[in-house]
């Protein structure tokens, strides 16, 4: 766990050198790697500001937001459990965040108002571009874990990009159907459909899939069951496991053994962070500095 501030002592963060001007809201928040990613970015750009963790309870979120505004903060990130609270706490919500129903990036504007956006979707698109040299709009996508959260953000962004096909599956199939129903206007006909989470259904669907995404937490424990039936992955598949602890999950190991390209969740953490940075400062993010900071933090945590 890393150091964090609270509503009671956040004013002391503004007296840091350089002063805190960015934060991540969460509860808990001590695990967040965002400061290790954003502080190198601020230094690389010569911006006199620090990025800190802020642990607040749900009932403290709005007072904390007001406190940051009074302390002349530039922006903030929002993580569990505050992404939905943030949606109702900011003055304006961006269209993608509104559709998703969650805010993970807040901008404090010069006129004193706050804008809530969601960088998960754009971060996903940039991850696919940078790691797979592919465009989401060209892909047939299978999302494992379509009940909401990060998986929901990926589904919404895939639909907004106009992907060739989006297949949603979830342990509780009704949640996948609910999500699919909200995307029908973006992907009409059978371009967005649900699938039972069974070995037979997955084995039948996978030959017609380009990109497989794990939006669940399965794979974090060695005792977790396999996500896919054995022998279904090929060298033509792209596999994106949103889990990054461990760095090589069972799904990634299986994909690599089959000759497929596979990545973990760290690139999306990087690219959604880069998107937030670009919204705050209206300039390209120093991605190399952010990547180096993130990799150093992960390596340190692994020791």
Give the 3-state secondary structure of residue 76.
Answer: strand
Beta pairing, strands 140-144 & 105-108 = unpaired
Is 83 labeled as catalytic in the residue annotation?
A: yes
Which helix (H) or strand (E) segment holds residue 288: the answer is helix 287-302
Which of the residues 57, 83, 175, 261 is marked catalytic? Answer: 83
| Pairwise CA distance, residues 135 & 118, whole Å | 20
CB 119 within 8 A of CB 127: no
Q: For residue 39, give every residue at least 6 positions away whose Cβ sits within 8 Å of its Cβ, in sequence order, or none.
A: 50, 51, 293
CB 114 within 8 A of CB 91: yes
Helix axes 266-281, 120-132, angle to 10 degrees: 120
| Pairwise CA distance, residues 203 & 228, whole Å | 8
Q: Which residues are catalytic?
A: 83
């Amino acid at each position: 766990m890393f150091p964090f501030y609270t509503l009671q002592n956040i004013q002391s963060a503004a007296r840091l050198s350089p002063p805190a001007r960015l934060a991540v809201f969460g509860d808990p928040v001590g695990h967040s790697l965002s400061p290790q990613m954003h502080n190198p970015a601020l230094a690389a750009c010569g911006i006199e500001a620090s990025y800190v963790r802020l642990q607040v309870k749900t009932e403290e979120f709005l007072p904390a937001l007001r406190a940051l505004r009074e302390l002349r903060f530039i922006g903030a990130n929002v993580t569990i459990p505050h992404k939905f609270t943030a949606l109702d706490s900011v003055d304006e919500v961006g269209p993608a965040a509104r559709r998703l129903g969650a805010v993970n990036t807040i901008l404090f504007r010069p006129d004193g108002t706050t804008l809530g956006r969601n960088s998960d979707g754009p971060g996903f698109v940039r991850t696919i571009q940078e790691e797979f040299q592919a465009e989401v709009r060209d892909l047939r996508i299978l999302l494992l874990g379509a009940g909401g959260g990060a998986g929901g953000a990926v589904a919404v962004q895939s639909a907004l990009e106009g992907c060739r096909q989006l297949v949603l599956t979830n342990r509780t199939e009704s949640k996948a159907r609910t999500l699919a129903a909200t995307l029908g206007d973006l992907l009409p006909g059978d371009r967005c459909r649900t699938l039972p989470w069974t070995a037979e259904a997955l084995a039948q669907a996978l030959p017609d899939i380009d990109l497989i995404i794990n939006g669940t937490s399965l794979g974090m424990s060695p005792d977790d069951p396999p996500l896919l039936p054995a022998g279904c992955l090929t060298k033509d598949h792209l596999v994106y496991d949103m889990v990054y602890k461990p760095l090589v999950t069972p799904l990634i190991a299986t994909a690599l053994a089959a000759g497929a390209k596979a990545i973990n969740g760290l690139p999306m953490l990087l690219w959604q962070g880069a998107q937030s940075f670009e919204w705050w400062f209206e300039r390209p993010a120093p991605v190399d500095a952010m990547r180096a900071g993130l990799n150093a933090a992960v390596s340190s945590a692994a020791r």
